[in-house]
């Protein structure tokens, strides 16, 4: 069975979540655009042989070879080589394996896009016929309806958008004929959802998280954070149905952190906890939620988030693995939480997300932080109030690739200091506790 053209609409899970939340908030119906497609149209270009004018392979773009544009993986890309001075023209082509009727081409551009280019077809990979051309290429995602036939399809760029070369995360060719191979596609969740993972944290006081579900992640961290994550010492049950991740001010001899302004020392002055479900539980699509009471204060940075399993499975570096931050809180904004996506084209301070004002200090009460996620979008909520709605079509056409069709695992942690919250100061009280009542995943 070949992959048919993806429908540009929210599928059942996100549609239901958006509809329910919109009704509750009096927002009416929230919709995203739909695109019609011939019923016999399939993806022809997946995993097919490819060629290009040049390709890049260095520390800035590792193995950015032509085949990466046809692997149905929007976190990998093809790019022209800087060794040639990034000149015009630049091109990339694919062999569909047999003659085909071409009805549509999808280009998911890196910021190094073509403003002027042609889509060409050929029967012999030598003589080319232009079936589409533009001098106003917009970049991001371009969904182009065409009519043409041939075994080979080429993007032939004649003018770049900037000083760099040409680069495509995805070059998809749709139509009939050829010799198509169906890519792996994760099925969307269907109603009713069932509980597939949960931890209610009902262990005895002082016990550690269930080792069949969670792994401790000790050591220092990135982002100029000031804490050392301990093996289990800072992550314990309180005996009242909560997991407690406690941040403490205590020195860890023999460790090096950025300078702590309060002590002037580069010896790490704080400890905390971080746990994850990698190797125990990961998933693609569904609903995930946690009921949490947050710590708060200058320099505190608690989070409930997910990282793509490819980070460990394949050694794929961040942000190519993808990151889904269901909740982050930085103490310098006492009432505010954040929900954010990170991917190769949008990450760090440029992540794609939104903020939510709780109307009270974040540590005043427990709140339910949730994500509803399927192949066409996401809805982030706090206590069933919408923080951020992500429509895949809108993301791809205005921000960058969607990299959330693979398995992700869960992470809970509380950082101290770092680039975003800044360091603790004289007003920060220690110890601080992040209390988690439960974590649940439905599919």
* CA 67 distance to own-chain centroid: 22
Contact 443, 286 (CB under 8 A): yes
* CA 416 distance to own-chain centroid: 24
* pLDDT at 2 (0 to 100): 32
Give 93: exposed, middle or buried? Use CB within 10 Å, 0-12, 13-18, 19+. Answer: buried
User: Does 195-442 match 38-177 at the fold level?
Assistant: yes
What are the residue numbers of the active site?
Answer: 323, 328
* pLDDT at 25 (0 to 100): 41
Which of 238, 264, 290, 246 has its CA nearest to residue 416?
Answer: 246
d(Cα 300, Cα 425) in Å, to the nearest integer?
10
Contact 388, 339 (CB under 8 A): yes
* pLDDT at 438 (0 to 100): 98
Give 288: exposed, middle or buried? Use CB within 10 Å, 0-12, 13-18, 19+. Answer: buried
* pLDDT at 13 (0 to 100): 57
* pLDDT at 32 (0 to 100): 36
Contact 190, 179 (CB under 8 A): no
| CATH 2.60.120.200 holds for 195-442 | yes
d(Cα 352, Cα 215) in Å, to the nearest integer?
28
Indicate the domain borders of the chain.
Answer: 38-177, 195-442
Contact 287, 371 (CB under 8 A): yes
Alpha-carbon dihedral of residues 359, 363, 366, 372, nearest 10 degrees?
70
* pLDDT at 242 (0 to 100): 98
* pLDDT at 378 (0 to 100): 98
Tens-binned pLDDT, residue by residue, of the chain (443 aa): 333 333 333 455 555 555 555 444 443 333 333 344 567 899 999 999 999 999 999 988 989 999 999 999 999 999 999 998 799 999 999 999 999 999 999 999 999 999 999 999 999 999 999 999 999 999 999 999 999 999 999 999 999 999 999 999 999 999 999 999 999 988 898 889 999 999 999 999 999 999 999 999 999 999 999 999 999 999 999 999 999 999 999 999 999 999 999 999 999 999 999 999 999 999 999 999 999 999 999 999 999 999 999 999 988 889 999 999 999 999 999 999 999 999 999 999 999 999 999 999 999 999 999 999 999 999 999 999 999 999 999 999 999 999 999 999 999 999 999 999 999 999 999 999 999 999 999 99
Domain at 38-177: CATH architecture:
Sandwich (2.60)
d(Cα 74, Cα 400) in Å, to the nearest integer?
9
Dihedral (CA of 248, 298, 368, 305) sign = negative
pLDDT tens, residue by residue, 218-274: 999 999 999 999 999 999 999 999 999 999 999 999 999 999 999 999 999 999 999
* CA 279 distance to own-chain centroid: 19
């Amino acid at each position: 069975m070949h992959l048919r053209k993806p429908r540009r609409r929210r599928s059942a899970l996100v549609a239901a979540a958006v509809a329910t939340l919109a009704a509750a908030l009096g927002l009416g119906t929230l919709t995203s655009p739909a695109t019609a497609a011939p019923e016999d149209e399939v993806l022809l270009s997946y995993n097919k042989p490819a060629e290009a004018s040049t390709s890049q392979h260095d520390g800035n773009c590792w193995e950015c070879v032509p085949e990466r544009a046809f692997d149905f993986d929007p976190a990998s890309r093809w790019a022209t080589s800087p060794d040639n001075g990034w000149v015009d023209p630049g091109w990339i082509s694919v062999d569909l394996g047999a003659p085909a009727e071409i009805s549509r081409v999808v280009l998911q551009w890196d910021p190094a896009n073509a403003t002027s280019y042609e889509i060409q077809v050929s029967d012999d990979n030598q003589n080319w016929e232009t079936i589409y051309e533009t001098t106003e290429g917009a970049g991001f995602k371009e969904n182009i309806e065409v009519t043409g036939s041939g075994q080979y399809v080429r993007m032939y760029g004649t003018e770049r958008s900037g000083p760099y070369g040409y680069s495509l995360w995805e070059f998809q060719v749709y139509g009939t004929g050829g010799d198509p191979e169906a890519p792996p596609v994760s099925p969307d969740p269907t109603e009713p959802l069932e509980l597939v993972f949960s931890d209610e944290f009902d262990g005895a006081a002082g016990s550690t998280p269930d080792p069949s579900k969670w792994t401790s992640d000790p050591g220092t961290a990135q982002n100029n954070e000031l804490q050392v994550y301990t093996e289990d010492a800072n992550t314990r049950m309180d005996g009242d149905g909560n997991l407690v991740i406690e941040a403490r001010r205590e020195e860890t001899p023999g460790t090096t952190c950025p300078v702590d302004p309060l002590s002037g020392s580069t010896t790490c002055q704080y400890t905390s906890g971080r746990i994850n479900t990698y190797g125990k539980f990961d998933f693609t699509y569904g609903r995930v939620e946690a009921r949490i009471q947050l710590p708060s204060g200058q320099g505190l940075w608690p989070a409930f988030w997910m990282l793509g399993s490819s980070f460990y499975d394949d050694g794929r570096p961040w942000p190519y693995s993808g990151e889904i931050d269901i909740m982050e809180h930085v103490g310098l904004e006492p009432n505010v939480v954040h929900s954010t996506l990170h991917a190769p084209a949008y990450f760090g301070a440029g992540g794609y997300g939104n903020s939510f004002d709780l109307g009270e200090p974040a540590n005043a009460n427990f709140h339910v932080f949730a994500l509803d996620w399927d192949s066409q979008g996401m809805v982030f909520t706090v206590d069933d109030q919408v923080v951020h709605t992500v429509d895949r079509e809108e993301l791809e056409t205005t921000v960058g690739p969607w990299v959330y069709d693979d398995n992700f695992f869960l992470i809970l942690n509380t950082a101290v200091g770092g680039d975003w919250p800044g360091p603790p100061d004289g007003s920060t009280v220690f110890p601080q506790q992040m209390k988690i009542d439960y974590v649940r995943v439905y599919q």
